[in-house]
Structure 1
Amino acid sequence: MTDLDTTADTSGRRGIVALDGRRRPGPPALVLVGHGSRDPRALRTVLALMERVRELRPGLSVRLGHIELNEPLLPDTLAGLGDAPAVLVPLLLSRGYHVKRDIPEMAAGATAHTRVAAPLGPHPLLVETLYDRLLEAGWPTAPDDAVRRASGVVLAAAGSRDPDSAADTRRTARLLADRLGVPVVPAYATAATPTVRTAVRALTARGRHRVAVASCFTAPGRFATQCAEAAPWMSSAPLGAHQAMARLILHRYDQAVSTPATLRNRTPASA
């Protein structure tokens, strides 16, 4: 028989309670931080992804907060946690202003101790999701040499003026190129160049006449739709509630939990 028991309080936090009534702290809550979108499909997709995470880690308190446009907003989610510690996992695919400034500033106003995890990209699990979405769109599972020589991919991302964001997207493109065995050119919906249409023309000029667009967006929305419309051959769906994305979220959470405090105070890396 053990002298400990697990329980959950009314806020959904789990902890360990000794028989003398003293609570030992459980793991920090995992707060998914979405950007927010006016497209209703985006919120539905993020909620489905959140359920995937809960299925993989039963008992972990998993919450959602948005930077803008959708409720709940991140400050409201953190206020609802009271003094419970939390790890904020950005549903963003590279470093940039939101990861470096917006999210830490929102977290600084919370009562609880918070940690900001690295963004989801670049990472092999992100590439696994991109690859599977391309296969779903019709990318050949075993292309021969002739097909490879004629094919290329444009990796369509949101875009940012932050050079770290562009570096992360280029790294994701290189990882995807290694997986596919064809050139992958990063392109952006806004704030950076090249555009998707420009990247498509560049690949075509190199003799790559079968050009697919890989949607490097967490969920459907305006940017994802615009980039898909520029695809001359096929366009994959956004990343969505893929099992690998849920695993990646938990990986970033675990990284943040295990990182010493002196390192957590630096800008999150995306290795």
Structure 2
Amino acid sequence: MLLAVAHGSRDASSSVTIHTLLRRVRSLRPELLVQYAFLDLNRPSLRDALYQLRSERPILVPLLLSTGYHVRVDIPAAVAAAGLPTSQVARALGPHPLLAEALAARLAETGATPEAPVVLAGAGSSDPTAIADTTRMAHLLARRLGRPVTPAHLSAVGPTPHEAVAALRAAGHHDVAVATYLLAPGFFARRAATTEARWTSPPLAAHDAIARLILHRYDEARTATALPLAPEKVLGK
């Protein structure tokens, strides 16, 4: 069993996006039972889901883009509290080349020109590991696009997307693109869309590459002998 663990949001479209994404996961592997839970704001909570599913020994896949506090502390603690110390927690989704594939596709949908510099707008975190993951993701996307990508953060640390876009424009790049490095719509996605960039991509949502990545993380954790929480190398899969 795969138990997808999403962050949760007050924005109803966010949970709709998660459900759509998981339908795609199920369609790619119909024989796999896929359930879901939320860390906050939405139901079922992770605690409730683990209580109900504890006999199934689920493999938890965080629908989170970096290895921050939720992945390193909150989710393993919830597993232990449910009496499931042998359950495996997969890596965070990012960084990974499949995310670069999805980000590039979302940017292409905006009509951004191939030469435009890109700002990668991540959620931000006070956790240095999560910030490092976003930087690695910017490198992966730059390699995919063949042009510079500046990492930026919508909370906690700088530069913000507004600051990164302003700096590029001040340097003479009048046409800048923002790649929204978020899974679902919500407060941060709306904030990412308020810069002076000419193009801003939508959240990654239910892109096929994200569904494939969720299954990849599940397969990794299922075959692992220990909890694999260290961030990947830039070129790792």
After TM superposition, the score normalised by the length of structure 2 is: 0.94
2:181 corresponding residue in structure 1? 216
Q: Residue deviations 1:84-124, cap 9 Å, x none? A: 11111111111111111111111112244421100011100
| 1:7-86 mapped onto 2 (5 Å cutoff) | 29-86=1-58
More strand by share: 1
How large is the Cα RMSD of the aligned pairs? 1.3
Equivalent in the alignment of 1:243: 208
Residues 166-214 of structure 1: per-residue CA shift (max 9 Å, x gap):
1110111011111222211111111111111110112123322211111
- Map 1:74-223; keep pairs closer than 5 Å: 74-112=46-84, 113-140=86-113, 143=114, 148=115, 151-223=116-188
Tell me if the contact between 1:212 and 1:231 (Cα under 8 Å) persists in the aligned partners.
Answer: no
Cα contact 2:133–2:231 (8 A) shared by 1: no
Query: Deviations along 1:115-167, whole A, 9 cap, x unmatched?
Result: 11000111000000000000111124xx4xxxx2xx21110011011111111
DSSP 3-state at the match of 1:241: coil
- Please say if 1:228 is aligned against 2:193: yes
Tell me whether 243-252 or 178-187 shows the greater mean CA deviation.
178-187
Deviations 1:18-72 (A, max 9, x none): xxxxxxxxxxx10110000000000000000010110011111101000000011
Residue 116 of structure 1 contacts residue 268 of structure 1 at CA under 8 Å; is this kept in 2? no
1 CA distance for matches of 2:121 and 2:54?
38
Gaps of 5+ in 2: none
Measure the CA separation in 2 of the matches of 1:41 and 1:83.
Answer: 31
Q: Distance in 2 between matches of 1:229 and 1:247?
A: 30
SS of 1:182's equivalent?
coil
2:75 and 2:230 mapped to 1: Cα distance?
11
- 3-state SS of paired residue (2:193): helix
State the TM-score, normalized to the length of structure 1: 0.82
User: CA separation in 2, counterparts of 1:121 and 1:270?
Assistant: 8
- In the aligned structure 2, how far is the partner of 1:101 from the partner of 1:227? 27
Are the aligned partners of 1:119 and 1:270 in contact in 2 as well (CA < 8 Å)? Answer: no
Q: How far is the alpha carbon of 1:268 from its aligned partner?
A: 4.4
* 8 Å CA contact 2:110, 2:199 repeated in 1: yes
CA contact (8 A) 1:159 1:165 kept: yes
Distance 2:170 2:73 in 1: 39
Contact 1:90–1:118 (8 Å) recurs in 2: yes
Structure with higher Rg: it is 1
Return the alpha-carbon distance in structure 2 between the equivalents of residues 136 and 171 of structure 1.
23
SS in 2 for 1:116: coil
Contact 1:42 1:221 in 2 (8 A): yes
CA distance in 1, matches of 2:188, 2:204: 13
